[in-house]
Chain A
Amino acid sequence: MAKVEEKRGTLGKGELKDVLREMLLIRRFEEKVEERFRAGELPGFLHVAIGQEACAVGVCRALEDGDVISSTHRAHAHTLAKGTHPNELMAELYGKTEGCSHGYGGSMHLYDVQHGNMGANAVIGGGLPHVTGAALAFQMRGEPRVAVAFFGDGATNIGTFHEALNLAQLWTVPAVFVLEDNKWAESTPEKQHSPIRDLSERAKAFGMKAVKADGQDVEAVFKTTRQALEHARSGKGPVFVHLDTVRFSGHYIGDPQVYRRKDEAKELRATRDPIEILRGRIGVTDDELGELDTEVIEIVDASVDFAKNGTDPAPEDALKNIYA
């Protein structure tokens, strides 16, 4: 996955096919994860980000080298988009030492320091203050780096959200807070968890600049993120990026979504699939899409083989890495 080097505000034509491929890779990776979980091969519990690919890819493509992210329990898309190889991600889901967290973390604790991934967090909002802290460190050291947090609409209710955003704005740190608003906090619809309809108001309550974009339109996500990063990086303070997105699957793999209208997911797939939207816009034919699909499926299958042939940690490894 090519890292964007030049500083410009929008995705170039040449890149868009690559972006499409990247989103497709994430889509097929997540589908494969679902399949392998149902076959009983993956321990623990997992949350896939099917439908939210444009948020991960659009934001991560906009980052510069040295920028860091923190993620949520729904972390696979962010992790891949930030540069972790599918092999290492799949190996981690299989609990192998070749995994990015060497088998210690699993789906909700994916870390890849080399690629600027400061960790997925199983505690809702748990990573938000870390982003404020990382941004503070960049500011104190005079580094032109930005710390970016991903979180969902559910997280906007928890204490760390308010405390972290308040402090970030107060100290004008170079942070960007990306809300992937898919309107569901596990099984609770937004109307049931928030008394206000526009969650951007919460950021504005701290005096923070808040911008919106359609989370299914990867070009819009990219452009908005570039602007937000520019603002933060220049010392003007943190930015709240509110992305309107859709969760096609349940909260966790196996979630029967008894709480959701049966046809809702179907309708959303038909009208708001980020892959279809980009594909339509740049005019990719069925055959061309088929070719891309074959390519990415091969990579995903290879990652499963890599993981399955990986090394199990020794039982005693459980007692390592507790202290530095």
Chain B
Amino acid sequence: MATEVKLPRLGQGMESGTIVKWLKAEGEAVQKGEPLYELDTDKVTQEVEAEATGVLLRIAVNEGEVPVGETIAFIGNEGEDAPASAEKPAEAPKREPEREAGRAAAAEVAREQPAPSSATTNGRIKASPLARRIARERGIELASLRGTGPDGRIVAEDVERAQVDASSAPPAAAPVRTGGEVESRPLSNVRKTIARRLTEAWTVPAFQLTVDVDMTRTQELVQKQRELNPDVRITVTDVLTKVCAQALIRHRDMNVQFTGDALLAFPNANVGIAVAAPQGLVVPVVKNAEQLTIAQIAQVRGDLVGRARDNKLKADDLEGGTFTISNLGMYDVDVFTAVLNPPQASILAVGQTRDMVVPRDGDVLVLPIMTMTITCDHRAVDGATGAEFLHTIKAFLQDPGLAL
């Protein structure tokens, strides 16, 4: 069997060499230890000796740069056949996998290193030196700000944003110094995305439908749920989410998306909840809401909203929604219209529940009334479909047992 002559590693760190000249010809006899070829390495040109005795059957590489380990010739017995090409391709430097493993382990350690934690600050406000400076310069009270940096640290951006909100801030905030130059504030990525998507949504032909809902039974339900589940903060939004999910399953034609040449109908109700996070509007999704209890929905929602406010949502949290609920009731808004959340077919805008005077059966009652408005993509949904859906939601809210 012919011996493969491979380019040897002749020094630390040597990865290749350049064959300059063969000192033996094909067919010539070779003794072990005799100089076989001349090799140029980084450091020097040297003769390399043969490591076997026999006949030089074939020279596979005549000249040029060759990686260490590659077969360059064959030595064997007279008349033996030399393989047409090397049986095995040149292998990678032998200890490289271990070096890789060492580097990978180091990279993992680097990734896992937590940022220094300032878990307890004993009442001290966490703010970066830059944030403090900006706050100082603009006369903004740090205590009035919400931090979006690591561990809730107030960073420069938070102070910048506060400046924008300062004009509409409640009187409790410190007086903002007015006067100065016009400032140009570059758009954050979140803001750019919001702008792009809503512009897109605005071009969709849409219609809106509005109803008032008597929230008496729903309020009772929320109370009961809170008593049954003291560890979870259950809100009207949670009941609303469950109710909408059930309604979407009953009205499959509403649980769709318009794609241009088809309507995508979804088997589950993935209800998105619009959240006003410090970085901008985000819509995390409660997946398979129709399968969850109200308490479970409250838990999922609580986690999502918390992470939204800390800017810790992952892409997965924001994807897959089939419907969106936007609730501005906590801002004292009675009625509003929401812009579609593309590519979803509809979005429900919900205002606050307030006592209103309502005529009923000839009597005048004071009832807790909530006004909700649905916006629908007319390419996917017709008026009647939307109206029926909205009616179902109203019915479920006014008589929750119907949703079972």
Contacts and interface: CB of A to CB of B under 8 A. Distances in A.
Interface of A: 37-41, 43-45, 95, 252-256, 258, 312, 314-316, 318
Interface in B87-120: 91, 93-95, 98, 101-102, 105-106
Contacts of A40: 9, 68-69, 91, 93-95
A187 to B, nearest CB: 11
Contacts of A45: 11-12
A316 B44 CA distance: 38
Contact of B46 (A43, A44, A258, A312): A258
B94 A39 contact: yes
A39 B10 contact: no
Given A39-B94, A40-B69, A316 B105 contact: yes
Nearest to B96: A40
Given A40-B9, A40-B93, 10 more contacts: A39-B9, A40-B68, A40-B95, A41-B94, A43-B95, A45-B11, A95-B98, A256-B44, A258-B44, A312-B98
Contacts of B46: 256, 258
A315 B100 CA distance: 10
Contacts of B9: 37-40, 254
Contact of B10 (A43, A256, A258, A312): A256
Contacts of B95: 40-41, 43, 95
A44 B94 CA distance: 12
A254 B11 contact: yes
- The residue in B12, B102, B105, B106 that gathers the most chain A C-beta atoms within 10 A of its C-beta is B12
A92 B160 CA distance: 60
B14 interface: yes
A315 B10 contact: no
Contacts of B6: 39
B93 A315 contact: no
7 contacts: A39-B9, A39-B94, A40-B91, A40-B93, A254-B11, A256-B10, A314-B105
A258 B46 CA distance: 8
Interface in B279-310: none
B8 interface: yes
Nearest to A254: B10
A2 B46 CA distance: 42
Nearest to B11: A254
Contacts of A312: 98, 101
Contact of B14 (A254, A258, A318): A254
Contacts of B14: 254
A43 B13 CA distance: 9
Nearest to B98: A312
A250 B375 CA distance: 86
Contacts of A43: 95
A253 B10 CA distance: 7
Interface string B65-83: 0001100000000000000
Contacts of A252: 11-12
Contacts of B98: 95, 312
A136 B278 CA distance: 73
Contacts of A314: 105
Contacts of A318: 102
A315 B8 CA distance: 28
A315 B94 contact: no
A315 B69 contact: no
A109 to B, nearest CB: 15
Contacts of B94: 39-41
Contacts of A256: 10, 44, 46-47
Contacts of B11: 45, 252, 254-255
Contacts of A253: 10
A107 to B, nearest CB: 11
Nearest to B43: A256
Contacts of B12: 44-45, 252
Contacts of A255: 11
A318 B14 CA distance: 25
Nearest to A41: B94
A199 to B, nearest CB: 29
Interface string B33-49: 00000000000101100
Contacts of A41: 94-95
B8 A39 contact: yes
Contacts of A38: 8-10
Nearest to B105: A315
Nearest to B101: A315
7 A-B pairs closest in CB distance:
A315-B105, A256-B46, A254-B10, A38-B8, A45-B12, A40-B94, A254-B11
B68 A315 contact: no
Contacts of A315: 101-102, 105-106
A258 B11 CA distance: 14
A41 B97 CA distance: 12
Nearest to A316: B105
B69 A39 contact: yes
Contacts of B101: 312, 315
User: Which one of A45, A315, A316, A318 has the highest number of Cβ atoms from chain B below 10 Å of its Cβ?
Assistant: A315
Contacts of B102: 315, 318
Contacts of B8: 38-39, 254
A45 B91 CA distance: 20
Nearest to B104: A315
A55 B11 CA distance: 26
Nearest to A266: B33
A114 to B, nearest CB: 27
A56 to B, nearest CB: 24
Nearest to A258: B44
B164 to A, nearest CB: 48
Contacts of A258: 44, 46
A40 B93 CA distance: 7
Nearest to B103: A315
Nearest to A257: B46
A224 to B, nearest CB: 33
Contacts of B44: 256, 258
A314 B11 CA distance: 27
B36 to A, nearest CB: 13
B25 to A, nearest CB: 22
A16 B95 CA distance: 40
B17 to A, nearest CB: 11
Contacts of B10: 38, 253-254, 256
A53 to B, nearest CB: 20
A95 B98 CA distance: 10
